[in-house]
């Protein structure tokens, strides 16, 4: 037989309180006191955090690892695709935009033009975006033109603004290259990240409050005698330091999810929190059927004009660009989008997504050069601005390299939390029992002994959030079912005579 060394009292893992023994209710004894609010909530919160950490942890680990890789793509992209992105020599004069466009179309006559992006820097190339059939769904082909020489420096399959390197990593982070079917993993991770973060923070604050050493919130107890206590201290402090970043990633990640994202979109529409777009309908024309998805920040463009003739008709692309400059739009960079149908205007939009954001947009009548609509970023609703900043921060664009460093730190922190969490689970495993039960169950009757208003509130909130965020609600129902089965099994075992 293998001998097992008993744990000392100091090394014993912290467990939720066991079910209390029945209390006497004689006439001379006061009724038993109900537990306080925290004592009622803590067992439920502990079990929820435990299940989420164990079962959802792998999905969070994959999301954090692929997200960490994504933070490196803004640095890798200009290195890998330097030939396409930059000119060999900065000249003194540039060719007109229509001439650059003609050079791109001569080299790549396939498809239709959906957008033209003049260079934002002196050493940058002009991008001509084409809608073509021989690329993956959602992708376009971008042709890169030297504005000083009209040299076509190459063409790449792009996912919106993302070149192949970033597009590949982005697809890995969103769906593991499994298409729409793979998006459930990232939605599950985003749906539970905020629950794990807030639950862990609440329990850690309560634990530190009992010690009356506030610095332990963010300073790990590295000299603790118990190995598990040291691991728990690191787990709690790292989580506290990065909790705001975790909540931000969870919230912005949910806006792109298939199910919760649709509910969030409907809520924003109902509250008039949507991001406004310029009206491209020319006077006397029929409005377009639907607006573009504001969250398609890196998705492929739609169909372009039926013919290249629209690019030079009227004032043409040169005249449209001149109008945009006269209106004060800054090339940082600009996106020039031709009308996809008759009766629609050109759209010119700033696309600076760092701080301060510059997202002003105008609609220009291609026949006359008249500005028919304008929306300035400064005039947008606060909710729309917050959405824009949240999306850009999630992608590491808001503050440039500093945003990317912060995202990498949060991703590393989340990976550390998950590893430490599994380490604690291993440390608390049964060493003197053949039981395979994964940790201590919630004491039976914990919710029943709580105040009625609290029990009802917990159930209502859980049901409402579970409906709004389905990938939270479905696993939560499974967790509850598992605990009910474990409780039923425990009752049967206790009835069996020794």
Q: How far is CA 277 from the centre of its chain?
A: 23
- C-beta separation of 299 from 115 below 8 A: no
How do residues 160-189 score in pLDDT, each as one tens digit?
999 999 999 999 999 999 988 899 999 999
Is residue 24 scored above 80 in pLDDT?
Answer: no
What is the four-CA torsion angle of 375, 379, 381, 384, rounded to 10 degrees?
A: 50
DSSP letter for 148, please. Answer: T
**pLDDT score at 19:** 45
How do residues 267-293 score in pLDDT, each as one tens digit?
988 888 888 999 999 988 777 655 444
Mean pLDDT over each residue of the chain, to the nearest integer: 86
Is residue 4 scored above 50 in pLDDT?
Answer: no
Confidence of residue 496 (pLDDT cuts 50, 70, 90): low
How do residues 105-122 score in pLDDT, each as one tens digit?
999 999 999 999 999 999
Phi, psi of 123 (to 5 degrees): -100, 10
As a whole-number percent, the residues of the chain with pLDDT over 70 amount to: 84
Q: Tokens in use for 408?
A: 């990498």
As a whole-number percent, the residues of the chain with pLDDT over 90 amount to: 65
Confidence of residue 320 (pLDDT cuts 50, 70, 90): very high
Is residue 10 scored above 50 in pLDDT?
Answer: no
Report the alpha-carbon distance of residue 464 to residue 299 in Å, rounded.
Answer: 31
Cβ atoms within 10 Å of 206's Cβ, excluding its own = 13
b/e per residue 44-64 (b: at least 16 CB within 10 A): bbbbbbbbbbebbbebbbbbb
Confidence of residue 296 (pLDDT cuts 50, 70, 90): very low
**pLDDT score at 20:** 47
Burial (0-12, 13-18, 19+ Cβ within 10 Å), 15: exposed
Least confident of 94-108, 347-361, 431-445: 431-445
**pLDDT score at 493:** 75
Is residue 16 scored above 80 in pLDDT?
Answer: no
**pLDDT score at 251:** 95
207-211, 294-298, 345-349, 472-476 — which one is most confidently predicted on average?
345-349
Domain extents in the chain: 37-70+181-257+402-495, 84-162+276-286+297-379
- Rounded to an integer, the average pLDDT of 83-112 is 97
Q: Which residue has the higher pLDDT, 408 or 55?
A: 408
Report the alpha-carbon distance of residue 341 to residue 336 in Å, rounded.
Answer: 15
Confidence of residue 35 (pLDDT cuts 50, 70, 90): low
């Amino acid at each position: 037989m293998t001998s097992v060394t008993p744990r000392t009292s100091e090394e014993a893992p912290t467990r939720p309180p066991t079910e209390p023994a029945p209390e006497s209710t004689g006439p001379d004894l006061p009724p038993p006191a109900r537990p306080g609010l925290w004592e009622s909530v803590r067992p439920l919160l502990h079990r929820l955090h435990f299940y989420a950490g164990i079962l959802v942890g792998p999905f969070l680990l994959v999301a954090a690892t692929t997200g960490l890789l994504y933070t490196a793509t803004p640095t890798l992209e200009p290195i890998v695709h330097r030939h396409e992105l930059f000119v060999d020599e900065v000249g003194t004069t540039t060719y007109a935009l229509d001439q650059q466009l003609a050079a791109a179309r001569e080299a790549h006559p396939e498809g239709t033009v959906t957008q033209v992006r003049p260079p934002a820097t002196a050493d940058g190339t002009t991008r001509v975006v084409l809608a073509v059939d021989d690329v993956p769904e959602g992708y376009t082909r971008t042709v890169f033109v030297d504005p000083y020489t009209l040299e076509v420096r190459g063409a790449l399959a792009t996912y919106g603004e993302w070149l192949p390197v970033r597009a590949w990593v982005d697809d890995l982070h969103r769906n593991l290259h499994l298409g729409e079917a793979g998006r459930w993993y990232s939605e599950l991770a985003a749906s539970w990240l905020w629950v794990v973060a807030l639950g862990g923070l609440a329990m850690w604050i309560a634990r530190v409050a009992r010690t009356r050493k506030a610095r332990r919130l963010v300073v790990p107890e590295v000299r603790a005698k118990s190995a598990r206590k040291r691991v728990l201290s690191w787990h709690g402090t790292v989580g506290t330091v990065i909790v705001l970043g975790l909540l931000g990633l969870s919230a912005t990640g949910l806006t792109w999810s298939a199910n919760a994202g649709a509910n969030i979109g409907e809520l924003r529409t109902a509250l008039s929190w949507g991001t406004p777009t310029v009206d491209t309908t020319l006077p006397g024309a029929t409005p377009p059927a639907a607006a573009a998805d504001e969250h398609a920040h890196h998705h492929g463009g739609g169909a372009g004009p039926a013919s290249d003739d629209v690019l030079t008709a009227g004032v043409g692309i040169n005249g449209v660009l001149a109008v945009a400059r006269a209106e004060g739009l800054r090339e940082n960079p600009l996106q020039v989008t031709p009308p996809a149908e008759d009766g629609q205007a050109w759209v010119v939009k700033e696309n600076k997504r760092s701080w301060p954001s510059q997202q002003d947009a105008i609609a220009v009548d291609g026949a006359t050069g008249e500005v028919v609509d304008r929306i300035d970023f400064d005039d947008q609703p606060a909710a729309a601005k917050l959405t824009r900043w949240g999306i850009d921060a999630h992608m590491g664009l808001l503050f440039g390299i500093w945003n990317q460093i912060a995202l990498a730190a949060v991703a590393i922190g989340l990976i550390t939390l998950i590893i430490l969490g599994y380490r604690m689970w291993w440390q608390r495993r049964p060493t003197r029992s053949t039981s395979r039960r994964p940790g201590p169950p919630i004491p039976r009757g914990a919710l029943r002994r709580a105040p009625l208003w609290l029990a009802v509130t917990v159930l209502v909130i859980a049901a409402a959030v579970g409906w709004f965020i389905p990938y939270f609600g479905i696993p939560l129902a499974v967790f509850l079912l598992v605990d009910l089965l474990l409780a039923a099994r425990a009752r049967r075992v206790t009835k069996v005579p020794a």
